[in-house]
Amino acid sequence: MILCFDIGGSAIKSAHAYAPDDVRPHGRVPTPGTDFDAFTQVLRDAIAAAPVPPQRIAISIAGVLDPETGAARVANIPCLNGRKLHGELQAELGLPVDLANDADCFALAEATVGAGRGHEVVMGVILGTGIGGGVVVRGQLLNRAGFSGEWGHGPVAQRVLGQPEITLPAFPCGCGIAGCLDAVCGARGLEMLHRHLHPGAAGDSPAIIAGWQAGEAQSARTIAIWIELLAAPLAMIQNLLGAGIMPVGGGLSKTTALVAALDQAVRPLILRRIDRPLLVPAECRIEPGLIGAAVLGLANAAAKKPGAGIDPASREN
Ligand SMILES: [Zn+2]
């Protein structure tokens, strides 16, 4: 049994995994954000409460690891920030630890038991509060540190677009760069785009999407521009990776018509001619982080690998 954790800024969820399709969620506790001893105690308590002694620990975390030093960058959990997390957790818990970024775990879950099953190259796309993703090639993460698939950042958002044409500013992003897709196409970005296009307009992202589905003109304009912003970068990503499928997760993907509209905008822009959907709704709707962590832990257990994360002593990237 692999003991899996999905560690986010507000909660630590756990599960007992026996196979990729047999992941049994076990509970959730608030994340001790500022106290590392309390944080590791949550993990130790879960080990003690497990029905059988776990072979290893597999963790999905909302952060990235420096590929050179192993230092974690976890904005929402200050007590983990800067720690050489992989090595420290293995030492604290006395078990092999597998550690991966949450978007990468999502991609791994989709590639193994979700919409990406049977595809050699899977690009997991997250359209949620933020824009992100992960890349899985032949069942393996392309990069274990969490820095691949991060297509939401970089100053690439189109500035002149739409019918009729408009010019958008380069909206500032939380990463410090202006013009990222994350700033204008995530759920909050979509709302900001809507207010920018229609001064005085209200409505959160579900309302804008519902308005688009109902044919309401302002929402339709916003969604048309949102799709245009996303379609060109996604086409470029597909040309780069040759992804056979792009499962789409995150809150904005709950509207399957929106995923279908985006797919129809992307496919004419790629080199490959493909007569089936490329962007499809993700299938692991419940706990993709836990499932992805389970996939990672089970694979490494089968290969009898020492814990896989990033630390200076066992760097593979
Ligand atoms: Zn950014």
Residue 317 lies in a domain: no
Q: Is the pLDDT of residue 150 over 70?
A: yes
> How far is the centre of ligand 1, averaged over its atoms, from the C-alpha of 158 (Å)?
14
- The per-residue pLDDT for range 234-282, each reduced to its tens digit, is 999 999 999 999 999 999 999 999 999 999 999 999 999 999 999 999 9
Q: Span 131-146, mean pLDDT?
A: 91
The string of pLDDT tens digits covering residues 198-235 is: 999 999 999 999 999 999 999 999 999 999 999 999 99
Question: Is a pLDDT exceeding 50 seen at residue 155?
Answer: yes
C-alpha 157 to ligand 1 mean position (Å): 10
Determine the pLDDT at residue 143: 84
The rounded distance, in Å, linking the Cα atoms of 185 and 191 is 9
Same domain, 151 and 189: yes
Assess whether 40 and 123 both reside in one domain.
no
CA of 51 relative to ligand 1 center, distance in Å? 42
Whether residues 127 and 12 share a domain: the answer is: no
User: How confident is the model at residue 166, as a pLDDT?
Assistant: 97
Residue from 41, 32, 34, 12 nearest 78 by CA: 34
**Do residue 76 and residue 130 come from a single domain?**
no
Q: Please give the distance, rounded to the nearest whole angstrom, from the Cα atom of residue 53 to the centre of ligand 1.
A: 41
**How high is the mean pLDDT of the chain?**
94
Q: What pTM value is reported for the model?
A: 0.94
**How many domains, the chain?**
2
pLDDT band at 308 (very low <50, low <70, confident <90, very high): confident
CA-based nearest residue to 192, from 212, 169, 176: 169
Give just the sign of the alpha carbon dihedral 110, 113, 115, 116.
positive
Q: Compute, in angstroms, the gap from residue 128 CA to the centroid of ligand 1.
A: 14
- Whole-number Å distance, alpha carbon 176 to ligand 1 midpoint, is 6
pLDDT tens, 95-128? 999 999 999 999 999 999 999 999 999 999 999 9
Continuous segment of H or E residues that includes residue 73? strand 72-73
How far apart CA 244 and CA 247 sit, in angstroms, is 10
Ligand 1 centroid – CA 219 distance (Å): 25
Indicate if 163 and 208 belong to the same structural domain. yes
CA 260 to chain centre: 20
Same domain, 247 and 121: yes
Residue 24 CA to ligand 1 centre (angstroms): 35
Q: Which tops the pLDDT comparison, 184 or 313?
A: 184
Residues 44, 162: one domain?
no
CA 115 – CA 97 distance, rounded (Å): 27
- Give the rounded distance of the alpha carbon of 148 from its chain centre: 11
How many angstroms separate the alpha carbon of residue 171 from the centre of ligand 1? Answer: 10
Domain-located, residue 308: no
**90 phi, psi to nearest 5 deg:** -60, -40
Residue 315 in domain:
no
The pLDDT value given to residue 104: 96
Residue 315 has pLDDT above 70, yes or no: no
CA atoms within 13 A on the CB side of 264: 7
Structural domain contains residue 264 = yes
**In the structure, what pLDDT confidence band is assigned to residue 317 with cuts at 50, 70 and 90?**
very low
Which residue matches tokens 């960058």?
73
Residues 295 and 271 in one domain: no
- The three-point CA angle 67-72-74 to 5° equals 130
Q: What is the CATH number of the domain that holds 138?
A: 3.30.420.40
pLDDT band at 310 (very low <50, low <70, confident <90, very high): low
Question: 100 and 44, same structural domain?
Answer: yes
Give pLDDT tens digits for 84-97: 999 999 999 999 99
Distance between Cα 276 and ligand 1 center (Å): 31
- Residues composing the chain: 317
Answer whether residue 217 is part of any domain: yes
Full domain range(s) for residue 263: 117-281
How does residue 309 score in pLDDT terms, banded at 50, 70 and 90?
confident
Percentage, residues of the chain above pLDDT 90: 89
Does residue 316 lie within any of the structural domains?
no
Quote the ligand 1 centre to 295 CA distance (angstroms). Answer: 29
Cα(126) to centroid(ligand 1), Å = 14
Mean pLDDT, residues 165-169 taken together:
97
Confidence band for 304, pLDDT divided at 50, 70 and 90: confident
Quote the ligand 1 centre to 226 CA distance (angstroms). 16
Same domain for 276 and 290?
no
CA 238 – ligand 1 centroid, Å: 20
Q: Is the pLDDT of residue 285 over 90?
A: no
CA 219 to chain centre: 26
Whether residue 192 is contained in a domain is answered as yes
For 36-55, the pLDDT digits (tens) are 999 999 999 999 999 999 99
Distance 194 CA to ligand 1 centre (A): 19
